[in-house]
Amino acid sequence: MTAATVTLTVGKLAEEVGVSSDAIRHWEREGLFPAPERSAAGYRRYGTAALDRARFIRACQRAGLRLADIADLLAVRDTGTCPCEPAGQHLERRIGEITAEIARLEGLRHQLTDMLRAVDAGTCDPPLPENWCPPSAVRGGECE
């Protein structure tokens, strides 16, 4: 890097992006980041391109994409092509995962609401192993 080029340490890069230094190192180990230049003392030195790349990775993570998905998008992005088409596929999969999680959470909310109504009404059914019975009191699938 030339003297006119911005250089960032791993800590400064992490701070700029809002992640830990360990996250930056992890992304490097996972192949999302090329190996950076090193100072004479062996410290990582990053330029503005690394800052842009780290911001892209972080934005993808906020969208819930996995590192493998992000690696796919970076591979396309690194060719100079917009990664919009493959991003659409990854985002559709992520939306499906979120939809399934919302359905699971709605079911849980319904179950908890029913349990709370029963407690409030004083009509609480005998404990069931899957919801009320402490693990130490379950024998043969029944609550003792």
Taking residue 142's Cβ as centre, other Cβ atoms within 10 Å add up to: 12
Residue 85, phi then psi, degrees to nearest 5: -65, -50
Number of H helices, E strands in the chain: 5, 4
| Burial class of residue 27 in the structure, from the number of CB atoms within 10 Å of its CB (0-12 exposed, 13-18 middle, 19+ buried) | buried
Whole-number percent of the chain with pLDDT over 70: 82
Mean pLDDT of the region 2-8: 66
The predicted-structure confidence for 60-114, as pLDDT tens digits, reads as follows: 999 999 999 999 999 999 988 888 888 888 889 999 999 999 999 999 898 888 8
Rounded to whole angstroms, how far apart are CA atoms 110 and 30? Answer: 40
pLDDT at res. 68 = 92
CATH number listed for the domain at residues 1-62: 1.10.1660.10
